[in-house]
A and B are shown apart, each in its own frame.
Chain A
């Protein structure tokens, strides 16, 4: 009977209901947009934190500030501290040595690429491709970017780590210079025209999607020779098998001193990325080892800062929509006062009458919410492209959450009208002279 009444009265007061649904839809659009953005980043961050592999960047202590991201680092060589290449095996000697999958040392230097008389300032990075790194425990240990950065794509062949004349040219740079695999390139150390010149063979064209696409990547030994820094490196990227971060790991992130000795033991003996980094710092003096959280450092930092703002804006939207719904429903209750009075006179319990009106409100809320989700999806894409230069992956959780918020909005809006229903006296409406 209740369902039948809901169904029959569904088209009563159509205009008002459309208006209410539209109000809810507007708020839902806003919330969907903000929520989708926030949850997209949040999920990426959570995934990063709960993955079973992490990267740690080891840099000299004085260099602890993050390296320049994206652009070319034009003056990296002067007054810098360096790490020693011969210390690399020490990393494979920590407690969690077996969880360390690979090590990639790096040395970057500014250089000039010369081809057909044009000169371009570029960055040359030396690293391991597939380098033999004998360890006391494993004479045949090989490591390098080929193993660690599996998504690096090379058109051509990988350079030989022992060679001092093979290089990979980044794909974007190759396009600017107009070179292909198999060609040659003249590299001059430094940004002036007076540095030593060397001719290298282009073993392949490298595509990574990162800054390597704009530079030249060479075997470490060659970079050291060009820079005149034999045996020196700037940073080491360590790839490790880790366990997902949890509360203990988060607590330790504030500094291992914060832990009680029992907690410290547990933390030290668990393969958290933090404890592995801590152990690396223990064996390499004057270094700083930091987990590289890609998302947390990028989009995550933005969202963390504006999350509060998002919440406030959403709350304001909900409040506005709820007030609007409240006003509209109040009118409905006044208009249908005689109906309510009659139900009371027929012996309906108060909750039965509330159920009817709240049921109608919930349907309106669901419809408004559904429309809002569709609209919000579109808006989120637009915002994503203009802010993060990528589409926003609207997570499935958005749908139930926004629908729930829409329903809660109309329910909040129906609190006052419900009181009007409760306060309504049948005598005043049933025997009215009109």
Chain B
């Protein structure tokens, strides 16, 4: 439910802000002429809807999105240029009292709305409204959420239009500039990503890095935009109409009414913004977060290169998670769980990773063990067997009430895990102490990873690993 409102906000708040702040930076026309803006918004909605239909018909989401991103980017750049190059020209007014640049408003509105709508659709398309076509609670709640989100944005736009005027054209223009720069940055990343996906431009490391960097900013865009809205409210508050002192009671009443009207708009906008922020925060920080894994207990191999865990400690039916740092610095998680009940103890010993879904891990929810990435429930007696989305079995032996896991088995499983910590390692050739993450060369042999300080020792090792390994062993033991 919050998902839809949040998706709408992420996609449309920048568009709403740009349109509204743009109109607020123009001088107020002598006669209100909103039809241009309304026509622009309608045209944008129409274009957006058409683009969505086209994308559905030809399964061309990426192409559609990229096309609109490009259009949005160009329009935003033009807006920023108009704003930056010639702030004075915004003040030029036609004979009819309409600002000349108001002619640009419909185009801006159309592009922004079309792009925002498409982005909103793109973000929600794979998130079914409901499990079945028959009218049901989910379907109604989700549809209501969409309507509510749209209404909230419309109200926000209306109130912002008032409050931005109260704050004045300077602050509105400043806020617009920030929103535009942000939108341009995010838009450029999106555009590049789209072009890369469509094979329109070649893949290079810099481009990937650029896209990756900007995709970090993207989720924060809406928060920054809404933060700016709150700042504008603050400015409007500081510049608020003050009642002052007057003997004339009628005049006083008029002033109270005026101050009251202003404060209603401010409070309304603050309320709408706060509500939107709360919904966004709920969705982004809480509802959409994957479940967190329980703490893993760190384990180290004993003198015999083994890890021993008494069955007594893990037989209670709960998932007991452990972690082992491999020679290469991989954090290898594994867990033990009693597959049956306390009366029939049979411990499953497995890596906390799955062949299909990777190292997202498993969580216990009541009696169920769930694979986090794919949400599949495990059939508990089957834990320890391979196949499907089961955790990868971890070879082990049982010695009088103790589970014994060889460190070498855990080393072999290190490739299933991506989480890496820096450990201190030794170059097997030179005996030099190194940090695993910073060692320039590494090589895998016999299920272990070895690190080297320079190319020379690396080549020597590769030529005859056994010589150095035996040597290493000897050194370790002796």
Contact = CB atoms under 8 A, between A and B. Distances in A.
Q: Do chains A and B touch in the complex (CB under 8 A)?
A: yes
Contacts of A296: 132
A114 to B, nearest CB: 43
Contacts of A52: 368, 377
A186 interface: no
Nearest to B133: A304
B389 A42 contact: no
Interface in A292-313: 296, 300, 303-304, 307
Contacts of B389: 96, 98-99, 271
Given A95-B387, A97-B387, A269-B356, A41 B376 contact: no
B132 A98 contact: no
B378 interface: yes
The 6 closest A-B pairs by CB, nearest first: A42-B136, A49-B131, A98-B382, A42-B134, A46-B131, A45-B132
Nearest to B383: A98
Interface stretch (B44-52, B138-146, B157-165): B138-146
B140 A401 contact: yes
Given A45-B131, A46-B130, A397-B141, A39 B136 contact: yes
A52 B130 CA distance: 16
Contact of A42 (B135, B368, B374, B390): B135
A100 interface: yes
Interface stretch (A224-232, A237-245, A363-371): A237-245
A35 interface: yes
A246 B390 CA distance: 22
B89 interface: no
Nearest to A404: B144
17 contacts: A38-B134, A39-B136, A39-B137, A43-B137, A45-B132, A46-B130, A46-B132, A52-B368, A98-B382, A138-B385, A241-B376, A243-B375, A271-B374, A271-B376, A300-B132, A304-B133, A395-B137
Interface in A310-332: none
B126 interface: yes
Nearest to A246: B128
Nearest to A311: B135
A50 interface: yes
Contacts of A138: 385
A53 B368 CA distance: 12
Given A49-B132, A98-B385, A247-B128, 17 more contacts: A38-B135, A43-B137, A45-B134, A46-B137, A53-B377, A96-B388, A97-B388, A99-B376, A101-B379, A137-B385, A138-B385, A241-B379, A243-B376, A244-B131, A270-B376, A303-B134, A395-B137
Contact of B136 (A43, A95, A247, A271): A43
B135 A39 contact: yes
A262 B368 CA distance: 30
Given A98-B390, A271-B388, A307-B134, A243 B140 contact: no
A96 B374 CA distance: 13
B6 to A, nearest CB: 19
A245 B375 CA distance: 12
A100 B132 CA distance: 25
Q: Which of A96, A138, A395 has most B Cβ within 10 Å?
A: A96
Contacts of A95: 387-388
Contacts of B139: 42, 46
A41 to B, nearest CB: 6
Q: Which of B134, B387, B388 has most A Cβ within 10 Å?
A: B134
A232 to B, nearest CB: 28
A162 to B, nearest CB: 22
Contacts of B128: 246-247, 250
B394 to A, nearest CB: 16
A395 B134 CA distance: 14
Contacts of A49: 131-132
The interface size bin for chain B is 20 to 34
A98 B387 contact: yes
A49 B132 CA distance: 8
Contacts of A271: 374, 376, 388-389
B144 to A, nearest CB: 8
Nearest to A303: B134
Contacts of A100: 379
Interface string B108-144: 0000000000000000001010111111111111000
A99 B388 contact: yes
A241 B374 CA distance: 12
A300 B141 CA distance: 20
Contacts of A38: 134-135
Contacts of B379: 98-101, 241
Contacts of A42: 132, 134-137, 139
A241 B137 CA distance: 25
Interface in A134-179: 137-138
Contacts of A43: 136-138
Contacts of B385: 97-98, 137-138
A57 B138 CA distance: 28
B265 to A, nearest CB: 15
B388 A300 contact: no
A397 B133 contact: no
Given A98-B378, A98-B385, A241-B378, A397 B134 contact: no
Interface string A345-376: 00000000000000000000000000000000
A337 to B, nearest CB: 28
A51 to B, nearest CB: 10
Q: Which of B131, B133, B387, B388 has most A Cβ within 10 Å?
A: B131
Given A42-B134, A98-B379, A100-B379, A270 B387 contact: no
B259 to A, nearest CB: 17
Contacts of B133: 304
A323 to B, nearest CB: 25
Contacts of B374: 243, 270-271
A253 to B, nearest CB: 12
Nearest to A244: B131
Q: Which of A243, A300, A307 has most B Cβ within 10 Å?
A: A243
B395 to A, nearest CB: 16
A49 B375 CA distance: 15
Interface string B67-103: 0000000000000000000000000000000000000
A167 to B, nearest CB: 29
A243 B140 CA distance: 23
Interface in A59-110: 95-101
Interface string A407-420: 00000000000000
A242 B389 CA distance: 11
A406 to B, nearest CB: 16
Contacts of A53: 377
A315 B130 CA distance: 23
Contacts of A101: 379
Interface in A241-287: 241-247, 250, 269-271
Q: Which of A46, A52, A296, A401 has most B Cβ within 10 Å?
A: A46
A101 B389 CA distance: 14
Given A97-B387, A98-B382, A307 B376 contact: no
B289 to A, nearest CB: 19
Interface in A1-49: 35, 38-39, 41-43, 45-46, 49
B424 to A, nearest CB: 39
Given A98-B378, A98-B382, A45 B388 contact: no
Interface in B331-365: 356
Interface string B244-272: 00000000000000000000000000000
A43 B135 CA distance: 8
A247 B134 CA distance: 15
B140 A397 contact: yes
B193 to A, nearest CB: 18
A55 to B, nearest CB: 14
Contacts of B134: 38, 41-42, 45-46, 300, 303-304, 307
A310 to B, nearest CB: 8
Nearest to A241: B377
